[in-house]
Structure 1
């Protein structure tokens, strides 16, 4: 672990006990006792955390909620195309805590701790309870880097999950970013409102207060994650004037059908959240079981065109492995230079003005 990380600064659980160990999973009925040895092997490499609010949504370990968070020995099987840093964060990190891939924006990763650990996470080699937070020196260095790069207009707080920080620490970071004249937009990427909605407190929302444009992107993969507690936490965020974006990953067995995606995107819009990105799975180690081919993803989205409002239509994207950035994979409706296809597959001539 880097000397710039201080695990003791990470807040502890705020509600009932989070499931973290093989015995926790077995005791909760999410794995049989016979699976203990395999789960211990996975635990030696990847963290597990299922907070109470999310665990309550799991009906079976292999249902669309359980699949996302219940570990399995399959995770230790690495396919040839999988890599430990699938989108090239490490090579694009000029100082600890910063990733700079695009000219006008940068990621600020103040911690590598999450409320839950998704089994398909593209940062699964880095996140976990031992990830801790940037210490004072490292955080100051990251903020100084942002101050001295005036081309940066947008700062994206991610990690880990920035809403796992204490309200005090989060408020200090937001205040520092707000004082940078060239930074016009702050975006927070989080799973907390659906995974641990009890953490969305007045103190946390106070910490997000800023005169800058503040946006929040919430990671949700299935409509059932929008529990009543999650919906209430989203309403509290919206009441503070923070626009919500929805981010999802296309996952085999979770949302790889038209009805599942339709319910997910409709649920987002009903909660004043604009579906933003549907991500093609990043090839992190041991995640092949979740892979849905891009051709299938395009067909799924094409099947929704005309069935759901444009408000519920995300951009289907691939983050090109190696750090080359995101490109759209959405279904095409243009055939060559002179024809366009409608949602029913019929072709129409493109008239030139």
Structure 2
């Protein structure tokens, strides 16, 4: 049947008018019914699922879908075929997933997804985290969630204290528009960050929502202020009922070009396409950064459209860097070491040494 609708009070309060950026993400549109030829599972996750609820696409990491429930139902969701169905991961299903992970020692990274893992009650979420931490070769646990931005009151002190017991835990949060970052949402992100959880943001490029470079710049700046690092900007997937959200690929490249060099590097996400047919994430960059490359070097273009030459290394790099006036013999090195060692004190002499340098030990 038609994809259901769900919205939280937090999200409802951010809607300023019909058809604004938040409205478009959560309110059904008749255009969803026009797009019937697309696939329900464009990334072929079901074909890459060796046991129920687990997707093994990449060599060293897997996706574990622990629930089909979400605080809101995004109209552009890749997993429309699953989201909204009742129930959480059952104990027997979790046991099968854990058994699979124990047998596959190449897996070092598990991403909890769904649905939204942070909708699990604390005891159920802890059961999953505890089970994963019994696997010696499993290094990282990541949680993908839109809860902090849509149901911030769920991010309680009790939840944060529980999750931090299972570090290293990373979270990738879903944000698409700067209006989503309300004071309550920023406070929820702060509670997670204070618990030592590194936060990244995953954003979907959506027509009429955030396909404008200035809106994207506002979003990434607001994310950094909320202690969330922009991580991925996704080209919209080819999921049934979502074609009206898709932009051209050039639109995404132009957004990245407008950010690169014009704001902090840490504010620029990776622009990727999750390849149809299960090909995985493919990163894209504006094609004008590398103008030409040969055995002599590369011609590069920067964000101001200025070009620069960067040489390739020579076969004997020592000839490139003549050491003019530098004493390099072993004896000279010993002499230099002896001179330097006289300048540095042991621990007991540290305060006196600091004072001799013109500073006070208390300055430290």
Count of aligned pairs: 308
Structure 2 CA distance, aligned partners of 1:284 and 1:233? 31
Q: Give the secondary-structure state (helix, strand or coil) at the position aligned to 1:171.
A: helix
Q: Give the secondary-structure state (helix, strand or coil) at the position aligned to 2:14.
A: coil
Structure 1 CA distance, aligned partners of 2:18 and 2:63? 33
Residue 230 of structure 1, aligned match among 163, 167, 185: 185
Residue 127 of structure 1, aligned match among 83, 87, 91: 83
1:130-279 superposed matches below 5 A: 130-279=85-234
Bigger-Rg structure (1/2)? 2
Q: Is the 8 A contact 2:164 2:197 kept in 1?
A: no
Partner of 1:340: 300
| Structure 1 residue ranges without an equivalent (≥5) | 1-43
Which ranges of 4 or more aligned residues in structure 1 deviate by more than 4 Å? Answer: none
Q: Is the 8 A contact 1:107 1:155 kept in 2?
A: yes
| Structure 2 residue ranges without an equivalent (≥5) | 314-364
Q: Give the secondary-structure state (helix, strand or coil) at the position aligned to 1:65.
A: helix
Is it true that 1:100 corresponds to 2:56 in the alignment? yes
Give the drift of 1:86. Answer: 1.2
Structure 2 CA distance, aligned partners of 1:196 and 1:87? 28
Structure 2 CA distance, aligned partners of 1:306 and 1:182? 39
Is it true that 1:350 corresponds to 2:310 in the alignment? yes
Structure 2 CA distance, aligned partners of 1:212 and 1:53? 29
Q: Give the secondary-structure state (helix, strand or coil) at the position aligned to 1:146.
A: helix
The two structures have a TM-score, normalised by structure 2, of 0.82
Structure 2 CA distance, aligned partners of 1:83 and 1:213? 36
Is it true that 1:115 corresponds to 2:75 in the alignment? no
Structure 1 CA distance, aligned partners of 2:292 and 2:204? 30
Residue 30 of structure 2, aligned match among 73, 85, 100: 73
Stretch of structure 1 that moved more, 338-347 or 218-227: 338-347
- The higher relative CO (CA closer than 8 Å, separation ≥ 6) is in 1
Is it true that 1:293 corresponds to 2:248 in the alignment? yes
Structure 2 CA distance, aligned partners of 1:322 and 1:210? 37
Superposed CA RMSD in Å reads: 1.3
Structure 1 CA distance, aligned partners of 2:103 and 2:161? 27
Is it true that 1:85 corresponds to 2:41 in the alignment? yes
* Distance 1:231-1:209 versus aligned 2 partners, 3 A rule: same
Structure 2 CA distance, aligned partners of 1:207 and 1:174? 10
The two structures have a TM-score, normalised by structure 1, of 0.85
Structure 2 CA distance, aligned partners of 1:278 and 1:93? 25
Give the drift of 1:212. Answer: 3.5
Is it true that 1:55 corresponds to 2:12 in the alignment? yes
Structure 2 CA distance, aligned partners of 1:119 and 1:102? 27
Give the drift of 1:79. Answer: 5.8
Structure 2 CA distance, aligned partners of 1:204 and 1:94? 31
Structure 2 CA distance, aligned partners of 1:185 and 1:92? 21
